[in-house]
Chain A
Amino acid sequence: MISVHNLSVNHGHLKIIKEISFSVGKGEIVSIVGANGAGKSTLLGGIAGIYSPAAGSIQMEDEELAKKSPVDIVRKGVTLVPERRQIFDGLTVEDNLILGSYHRYSKEKKQCLQDLEMVYAYFPKLAAMKSRLGGLLSGGEQQMLAIGRGLMAKPKLLMLDEPSLGLAPLIVREIMNILVQLRNITSTSILLVEQNIKAALSISDRGFVLERGSIVLEGEAKSLLQNQSIKDAYLGASPSLQE
């Protein structure tokens, strides 16, 4: 559904992402894992149009997305749930969600309000605190809000940047389960970027390991979890990466 070909993204003179190629199929969950500073967020920012790619192409259903503006990319069905949630903390939960559908709200208001109910069905916790200010929610609730807000854009591809960041293992599992559910019901494609390699790979179909801007390993998520070098580099040594 989306295929990224030889994508490079720079920050100033620094080459952060170096000629990466990968694809995500319809209804597939794909993880990109790697340590801090590997370039994961830059990669997602490049796809979402926040950073203009230096080279390469991003094909989404035969349309080129590279160099398009963030607005156009949202309209084409690619939505990014950014790192550290970035919710509108002075707006209510419901306003946060409804603004997620900004790019289509004026055209299909009714549909948006129906989708709001769908999001509440996925996240009953949010439904219970509709009129609370987003900034007053707990970290896990804010992450759910950020994902819900992303869903309101009605994406074909939902990209999540470190949804597990700073959350308790139990909440991480809850959020991962919801992502699987979402994929199973709506067959939305999901591109998950994570430092929490175990949590990410355990719900993914395929995975890529990113190191200093390049993909160093790729394969079925299950086999990556068993891979000895991944175990050594990411799962065994550093206790902070363990669940």
Chain B
Amino acid sequence: MESLSQLMQLLFSGLTIGSIYALIAIGFVITYNITGVLNFAQGEFAMLGALLTISMSSAGLPLYLAVIVAILIVMMVGGLFERAAIYPARKSSVATLIIITIGVSFVFRGAAIFIWGTQPHSLTPFSGNTPIRIFEAVLLPQSLWAVGISLAALAGMYYFFNKTYTGKAVTACVMNRFAAQLMGIKPEKMSFLSISLSAGLGALAGIIIAPISGASYQMGLMLGMKAFIAAVIGGLTNAPAAVLGAFLIGIIEAFSEGYLSSGYKDAVSFAVLLLVLFFMPNGLFSKKSGKRV
């Protein structure tokens, strides 16, 4: 039974981290589908969301309010980033745009050092720290929050893109930009919308993970990288596949941390990325994938 409980334990932690990656990976996919840009500043939105929440909550704001305000601020930062950095360069090559996003990620990280310093900060868990025991494994309430909020956010995204008028317009713009323009849909507006939305999702991910692994100015880099791997596994254009990819990466990491050594977990993730790129460059689920948000 020892091994079963360990297995469950690792599975839980894999699902928790996977749900965080999923939120950021969705941001990658949405941004990529609509603007054609790989936004390497995506992980920094998670960092900004986490640190803003910590500051506001330690300044006395109730946690839920701090979370909402932080997400809104990060969405505005995302919108500003689109208008100031992506929009003026929208006619440049994709490589230029990607380098711009990398540059912006340095700016975000640098600004974070100025504001919050280099020390890690912590956020109190959303509902206590009393562990729940399931199948001999210990589950922290924050893990339930992580998985629950992620799934709710993903359901919200699904609803937005498939059921609301604006969401359908964004989807249409992804499917056929030319025809969308003829209908009067402005791709530039959709790009603004999608990047602020992705920023909000990233912020949410950072806030959820902060009580588990802390928050610091450099947390965005690794989160962003892992989410990027997840998105690539899913084929980059397919949001549901990216979510599956995120959970896969989360679980693979948890298992390699548990059964090999914690030092190997990043190496294993990147090895998976390389394998996918070598053997299935269109993603693990490429047969089923279509270009949808």
Shortest Cβ distance from B172 into A: residue: A88
Q: B83 interface residue, CB < 8 Å from A?
A: no
- A98-B165 CB under 8 A given contacts A70-B184, A91-B172: yes
User: Given B172, B181, B292, which contacts A71 in the complex, CB threshold below 8 Å?
Assistant: B181
Contacts of A48 in B (CB 8 A): 182
A residues 53-98 near B (Cβ < 8 Å) are 70-71, 74-75, 79-80, 82, 86-91, 95, 98
Q: Are B184 and A153 in contact (CB under 8 A)?
A: yes
> Are A82 and B179 in contact (CB-based, < 8 A)?
yes
- The CB with the most chain B CB atoms within 10 A, among A70, A80, A82, A153, is that of A70
Most buried by B among A71, A87, A102, A153: A102
Contact pick for A102, options B171, B185, B291, B292, CB 8 Å: B185
Cβ contact within 8 Å between B185 and A99: yes
CB of B73 within 8 Å of the partner chain = no
Q: Do A91 and B183 contact each other (CB < 8 Å), given the known contacts A99-B169, A105-B165?
A: no
Closest to B183 in A: A102
A158 to B: closest C-beta gap in Å: 12
- Contacting pair B175 A102 (CB below 8 A): no
Which residues between 126 and 185 of chain B lie within 8 Å of chain A, taking CB atoms? 165, 168-169, 171-172, 175-176, 178-185
What B residues does A206 contact at CB under 8 A?
none
- Complex alpha-carbon distance, A70 and B291, angstroms: 24
Does A90 lie within 8 Å of B185, measured CB to CB?
A: no
CB of A149 within 8 A of CB of B183, answer yes
What distance in Å separates the Cβ of B127 from its nearest Cβ neighbour in chain A? 40
A93-121 CB mask vs B (1 if < 8 Å, else 0) is 00100111011010000000000000000
| Nearest CB on B from A168, distance (A) | 24
- A50 close to B (CB within 8 Å): yes
Say yes or no: A82-B292 contact (C-beta < 8 A), given A91-B171, A95-B168, A99-B168: no
Check B184–A102 contact: CB distance below 8 A: yes
Q: Are A88 and B175 in contact (CB under 8 A)?
A: yes
Q: CA A80 – CA B180 in complex, angstroms?
A: 11
CB-CB under 8 A from A153, the residues of chain B are 183-184
Given contacts A90-B291, A91-B168, A99-B168, contact A75 B184 (CB under 8 A): yes
Q: How many residues of B contact A (CB 8 A)?
A: 19
Measured CB to CB, the closest approach of chain B to A197, in angstroms, equals: 25
Determine the chain A residues whose CB is within 8 A of the CB of B179 once the complex forms: 82, 86-88
A90 and B183 in contact, given A82-B178, A99-B172, A102-B169 (Cβ under 8 angstroms):
no
Indicate if the CB atoms of B168 and A70 lie closer than 8 Å: no
Contact A50 B165 (CB under 8 A): no
- How many A-B contacts at CB < 8 Å in the complex? 64
**Minimal beta-carbon separation of A240 from chain B (angstroms):** 27
Task: Report A-chain residues with C-beta under 8 Å of the C-beta of B120.
Answer: none
Instruction: Give Cα distance in the complex from A102 to B176, angstroms.
Output: 15
Known: A71-B186, A99-B172. A86 touches B181 (CB 8 A): no
**What distance in Å separates the Cβ of A105 from its nearest Cβ neighbour in chain B?**
6
Chain A residues with Cβ below 8 Å from B185 are 71, 99, 102
Please name all residues of chain B whose beta carbon is closer than 8 Å to the beta carbon of A50 when the two chains form the complex.
178, 181-182
Report Cα–Cα, A82/B168, bound state, in Å: 20
Chain A minimum-CB-distance residue to B175: A88
A residues in contact with B172, CB < 8 Å: 88, 91, 95, 99
CA distance A103 to B185 in the complex (A): 7
A181 to chain B, nearest CB (A): 23
Chain A hits for B186, CB < 8 A: 71
Binary A-proximity of B281-293 (CB < 8 A = 1, otherwise 0): 0000000001110
> Judging by beta carbons under 8 Å apart, are B290 and A74 in contact?
no
- Is A82 a contact partner of B165 (Cβ separation < 8 A)? no
Closest residue of chain A to B166 (Cβ to Cβ) is A106
Contact between A89 and B175, CB atoms less than 8 A apart: yes
Which residue of chain A has its CB nearest to the CB of B182? A80
Contacting pair A71 B171 (CB below 8 A): no
Which A-chain residue is minimally distant from B186 (CB atoms)?
Answer: A71
A-B contact pairs, 24 of them (CB 8 A): A48-B182, A50-B182, A70-B182, A71-B181, A71-B184, A71-B185, A79-B182, A86-B176, A87-B176, A89-B175, A90-B175, A90-B291, A91-B175, A95-B168, A98-B165, A99-B172, A99-B180, A100-B183, A103-B183, A103-B184, A105-B165, A149-B183, A153-B183, A153-B184
Q: Known pairs A87-B176, A88-B171, A88-B179; list 20 more (Cβ under 8 Å).
A: A50-B178, A50-B182, A70-B182, A70-B184, A71-B181, A74-B183, A86-B182, A87-B179, A88-B176, A89-B175, A89-B176, A90-B171, A90-B291, A90-B292, A91-B168, A91-B172, A98-B165, A99-B180, A99-B183, A102-B184
A residues whose Cβ falls under 8 Å from a Cβ of B: 48, 50, 70-71, 74-75, 79-80, 82, 86-91, 95, 98-100, 102-103, 105, 149, 153
> What 8 pairs across the A-B complex have the smallest Cβ distances?
A103-B184, A86-B179, A74-B184, A102-B183, A88-B175, A88-B172, A71-B184, A70-B181
